[in-house]
Amino acid sequence: MNERSRGAETEPVNGLEWFGRELEAALIHKGASQRELADFTGYKEPYVSKVKNGKAMPSPAFADGCDRFFNTSGWFARLLVRISERGHPGWFVPYINLERQATRIEDYSNALIMGMLQTREYAEATFRATHPRETDEQIKARVEARLARREVMEREAPPLLWVILHEATLRTEVGGRAVMADQLRHLASAAGNPHITLQVLRFKEGAPAASLPFTLLTPDDGATVLYSETRGQGHVTDSVKAVDDARMTYERLRAAARDPEESLALIREIAEEYAR
């Protein structure tokens, strides 16, 4: 197999199936078993099986392991990046790359819970609402791409994530009460990680310091960038003034929000309300 022959093939709509098909072909070509690949990469055989059958999003570490096992010179790593980006609009790809490089992420969400913390069902409900003409396969590709963003928080040295959630994100019934109960339980569980901090900005605090969501991302070199989003578009800037203004706004939001302990209690309380 070579990259040219792979690229000449028709790309399936579902990126997971594409990766799985390439993985199966590589195993056959090498005459290797799933167990051998699992042992080499340090993953369990059921995980390898799910990836091969297009049922699970491969991690960057697994893709790198595949390249070492099959001696494919980075093909699987590049394929993973490609299928990850396919599930996102082009204007969002710069943000995804920044998210992967960040050592600190500070997010304000005013309407929907940020993608990195969404459950599968919540993400699917948001995409079905915003992309009503898309097929089930297209929606599935978007969902898998969004869930793959969790990999950033699961690596050995994850970024510090600080999220301020307006109470509206907790009270808006995305996907129904059962989906929301599960989503808020997921938030509460995530808050148990030492590198994740959640705060809730209550309705009773009145007009918030920001009317739109935004994210501050700080990479290793310490040069913070601002990501902001309007309808159908996103914008990344490293303008010192824009970043400083956003930083001041974020600090005001942080000061107005409930502290992490109170916020976690509220998230759990609302989750139980949905579960009744």
Q: Looking at the structure, do residues 137 and 65 belong to the same domain, yes or no?
A: no
Closest CA to 99 of 259, 255, 236: 236
Task: Name the pairing type of β-strands 225-230 and 160-166.
Answer: unpaired
Q: Looking at the structure, do residues 134 and 182 belong to the same domain, yes or no?
A: yes
Q: Looking at the structure, do residues 170 and 215 belong to the same domain, yes or no?
A: yes
Task: Name the pairing type of β-strands 102-109 and 160-166.
Answer: parallel
Whether the model clears a pTM of 0.95, i.e. scores above it, the answer is: no
Count CB neighbours of 268 within 10 A.
15
Instruction: Tell me how far apart the alpha carbons of residues 230 and 234 are, in angstroms, rounded to a whole number.
Output: 6
Structural domain count of the chain: 2
- Which tokens in the block code for residue 86? 């396919």
| Of 86, 103, 133, the domain-final residue | 86
| Of 37, 54, 86, the domain-final residue | 86
Domain that holds residue 246: 90-275
Contacts of 91 (CB under 8 A, 6+ apart): 233, 234
Q: Looking at the structure, do residues 262 and 130 belong to the same domain, yes or no?
A: yes
Q: Looking at the structure, do residues 136 and 216 belong to the same domain, yes or no?
A: yes
Confidence of residue 14 (pLDDT cuts 50, 70, 90): low
Phi-psi domain of 124 (left: phi exceeds 0; alpha: psi -120 through 50; beta: other): alpha
Q: Looking at the structure, do residues 166 and 221 belong to the same domain, yes or no?
A: yes
Could you tell me where the DSSP H helices lie in 42-119?
A: 45-52, 60-70, 75-86, 93-101
Q: Please check the confidence at residue 151 and state whether its pLDDT lies above 50.
A: yes
Least confident stretch, 20-29, 223-232, 243-252: 223-232
Find the CATH number of the domain harbouring 172. Answer: 3.30.870
Confidence of residue 261 (pLDDT cuts 50, 70, 90): very high
Confidence of residue 8 (pLDDT cuts 50, 70, 90): very low
Q: Looking at the structure, do residues 39 and 117 belong to the same domain, yes or no?
A: no
| Of 45, 62, 86, the domain-final residue | 86
Q: Looking at the structure, do residues 94 and 82 belong to the same domain, yes or no?
A: no
Q: Are 71 and 64 a contacting pair, CB within 8 Å?
A: no
Q: Looking at the structure, do residues 131 and 117 belong to the same domain, yes or no?
A: yes
Find the CATH number of the domain harbouring 68. Answer: 1.10.260.40
- Which tokens in the block code for residue 91? 């204007």
Q: Looking at the structure, do residues 150 and 99 belong to the same domain, yes or no?
A: yes
Q: Looking at the structure, do residues 43 and 133 belong to the same domain, yes or no?
A: no
Confidence of residue 270 (pLDDT cuts 50, 70, 90): very high
Average pLDDT over residues 112-121: 95
Closest CA to 162 of 200, 121, 120: 200
Instruction: Tell me how far apart the alpha carbons of residues 251 and 42 are, in angstroms, rounded to a whole number.
Output: 42
What's the confidence (pLDDT) of residue 12? 53
Instruction: Tell me how far apart the alpha carbons of residues 166 and 181 are, in angstroms, rounded to a whole number.
Output: 17
Phi-psi domain of 73 (left: phi exceeds 0; alpha: psi -120 through 50; beta: other): left
